């Protein structure tokens, strides 16, 4: 009798976690570069009543008899599918079309690098390209990219080359670098649209150990200037998942209620 109550409690915990993930997805439906999450579940260890037996000369084989003990959280996956493009016509709004991530950091310590698909970038008072948190955009030489104050205009090409015009002549400020991961779902979310490397992310490197690549090379994304990659959250999908999670939560509360009613009947047998 108590097993069904504990199974119901595990179901409540599981669906609560699923609702937490769905709520976070919906809250970030308009967050630039956001990658949605997905909760999956696994059954808990089953308690054996009788074991399986092999066939004999006079009797066939018997399957095991097991009673499940509930559900547990399996994974919370980060789904790195391409988000929708939103055109802004702003030269420092950049979208990655394909695989890869922008690299941000100080340009000095590689261990502090962070990665993002959010390309809403800005210029600081020294002309360096930074993100909304003030982190520097890293270029191919693992250095910061700076546009001089007296530059008349600038543009960013699909291969990440940043050009600016000074005294009527075109100059190159640098080339934006991207990092590529064989398993982007293994990256750690650290907030503010940023990810950190992890032992299971599979950061790709070339034969020289370099882990940053030029856009449009080695299978990396191209850069689209004047556009942003928005969240990959699908509201219709999230609302459907929310309804199924709510019904699952209600069903598990019914399991606990029914088990309690049966226990109450057993207590009242003595009366």
pLDDT of residue 1: 59
Q: What percent of the chain has pLDDT over 70?
A: 97
Q: How many residues does the chain have?
A: 271
Assess whether 45 and 148 both reside in one domain.
no
Whether 189 and 97 share a structural domain:
yes
Q: Are residues 214 and 97 in the same domain?
A: yes
Q: Is the same domain home to 124 and 256? A: no
55 near 61, Cβ under 8 Å? yes
> Is residue 91 included in any domain, yes or no?
yes
Sign of CA dihedral 88, 90, 93, 98: positive
User: Are 116 and 225 contained in the same domain?
Assistant: yes
Three-state secondary-structure class, residue 169: strand
Same domain, 146 and 224: yes
Residue 90 shares a structural domain with residue 215: yes
Q: Is residue 58 part of a domain?
A: no
d(CA 119, CA 90): 11
Q: Which domain holds residue 10?
A: 2-50+64-80+233-270
Q: What pLDDT sits at residue 101?
A: 95
> Do 116 and 203 have their domain in common?
yes
- Return the percent helix, strand and coil in the chain, to nearest 5: 25, 35, 40
Tally of structural domains, the chain: 2
Q: How far is 253 from 264, CA to CA, in rounded Å?
A: 17
| Residue 18 is assigned to a structural domain of this protein | yes
Q: pLDDT tens per residue, the chain (271 residues)?
A: 578 899 999 999 999 999 999 999 999 999 999 999 999 999 998 888 999 999 988 999 999 999 999 999 999 999 999 999 999 999 999 999 999 999 999 766 566 899 999 999 999 999 999 999 999 999 998 889 999 988 889 999 999 999 999 888 999 999 999 999 999 999 999 999 999 999 999 999 887 788 899 999 888 999 999 999 999 999 999 999 999 999 999 999 999 999 889 888 888 886 6
Candidates 69, 13, 71; CA nearest to 43 is 71
Whether the CB-CB separation of 34 and 82 falls below 8 Å is answered with: no
Residue 57 located in a structural domain: no
Domain contains 56: no
Residue 59 lies in a domain: no
Q: Are residues 219 and 89 in the same domain?
A: yes
Predicted TM-score (pTM) of the model is 0.88
């Amino acid at each position: 009798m108590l097993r069904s109550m504990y199974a119901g409690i595990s179901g409540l915990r599981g669906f609560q976690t699923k609702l937490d993930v769905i709520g976070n997805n919906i809250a970030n439906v308009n967050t630039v570069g956001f990658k949605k999450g997905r909760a999956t579940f696994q059954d808990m260890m089953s308690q054996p009543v009788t074991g399986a037996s092999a066939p004999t000369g006079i009797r066939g084989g018997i399957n095991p008899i097991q009673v499940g003990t509930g559900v547990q959280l399996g994974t919370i996956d980060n789904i790195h599918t391409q988000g929708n493009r939103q055109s802004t016509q702003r030269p420092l709004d950049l979208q990655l079309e394909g695989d890869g991530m922008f690299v941000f950091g100080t340009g000095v310590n590689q261990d502090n690098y962070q990665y993002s698909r959010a390309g809403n970038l800005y210029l600081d008072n020294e002309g360096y390209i930074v993100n909304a948190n003030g982190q520097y955009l890293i270029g191919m030489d693992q250095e910061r990219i700076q546009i001089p104050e007296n530059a008349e205009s600038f543009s960013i090409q699909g291969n990440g080359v940043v050009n600016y015009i000074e005294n009527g002549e075109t100059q190159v400020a640098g080339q934006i670098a991207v990092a590529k991961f064989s398993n982007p779902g293994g990256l750690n979310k650290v907030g503010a649209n940023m990810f950190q490397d992890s032992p299971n992310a599979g950061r790709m490197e070339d034969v020289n150990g370099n882990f940053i690549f030029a856009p449009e090379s080695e299978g990396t994304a191209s850069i689209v200037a004047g556009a942003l990659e928005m969240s990959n959250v699908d509201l219709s999908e999230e609302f459907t998942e929310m309804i199924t999670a709510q019904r699952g939560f209600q069903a598990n509360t019914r399991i606990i209620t029914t088990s309690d009613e049966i226990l109450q009947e057993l207590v009242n047998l003595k009366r």
